[in-house]
Structure 1
């Protein structure tokens, strides 16, 4: 977006205004939030007077390789249909702000770009960007001879040359925004299909999806521990993470796996001792300790006293 802004005479600082991003940060490994991205888009649209074809210019710069493992996974899918379904399932790993969905009707396949959830002032820009990106991705995975496609847009006919960018017939003032082709295209085999590579890519995408979209790993870990699971490897597998990545996320959130397990055991021990009045051996067994002595040491660490003394004081 900054590059396209420069081509329209918009200074980089104007594009980044109000985002807490600096030009230097764009050349490192800075993580840019969705809110920051939309702010840059709004700055660009405002500064250019919502120039026709602005989204197309941004979208055509985003090749399949811009999407990392998600883009590589699409190449390895067996058919066009499986690639589209895979792409939609892991859509949060992309730059898409609009919703996308696949429909098959009347012998045609429609990949619909739904802009209803987008900021009103940015809808045309975001639709243009997504149409350009998606048509480019479809051409990339289909190889040198892609089948005919047409694009239908709810936008009024602009001055920009849409057909040159999307390489398809474009109709305006339509009831929806969609890329349309013959339904039989969905069953076409992809030239670079590779089931083993696809399986590896999907595991990586699952991990990324969990890392990027889970609001709080600590909360998820607490919920699983509450089910009685206290093995780090099992919990990491449930969250589609490695044990090392799980511990790294918890550290970033200011806690640790051992602390969460200790807190859960502490709470359970107090309940079992004071409310259910179980003996030390029974509590140790329920909480997974090797013996009563190990549990007593842990309890003293939590409370500064023994289970027996704690129970008497509670009484």
Structure 2
């Protein structure tokens, strides 16, 4: 049975593309096998509904940009990034492509202090939160597929007001979400920009046949085994983190099976550990209460020098320099 992971709120957001035009949403719901717009749905159902809405309004972006994203644009976007040298190269190509297609909002990739930011700007007033979510979903869904792993986010900002009674926005991204911000942006560690795309022309054909349902599940933070491991590690001091063999035993899996299942989710245990350590390191350095050596010990490093090398790799700067910058 398909897991119903998409909230009713996101279903209603998508259907609004039809009701704003005076169109009956019933055909789109029927095409997706959805009884009503007030229920949670699976990613496959949502994907079918998205395709049905696209066919009805001839816009893959739900009519939320300055210009329509004509059917076939998503296909061309994937073609444009397929042979990029790195994730950074792919992102810059994708942002340029979407700027030409949508006109507004327009995205820009910025880097500072070991962080990568994708910033969206609007010429006029801010758009609906669903417009920004659709942009992130399309862009990052393709990027995660291209490099074969989820890119963990550190912060998501919306320039618009928060939709009422919609906690699903906070749950979807797996990172702190803030509304009424000066600009819309998402933030992740800049070292991911050096990842190498791994997909072929043949793989792209399979990806496109399953789109857009596949980007909904690939991009979600709270999916599968990696989410369970992430939650366990966050609840445990890093110096007490269990080994992969111990985790596998606790899950009643072989170590090889655990590695394979994490790889299928675009993850590895070392990547999850680094993600958590980096987030905790940034917080402790910014607070300024602990010495760098004490932070290293709390994060499970036997020597401060090992933490120094890891932090330099993550951010491009030393722990001491990062602290100085954050404390002004």
What TM-score do the two structures reach when normalised by structure 1?
Answer: 0.40
| TM-score, scaled relative to structure 2 | 0.39
Larger radius of gyration: 1
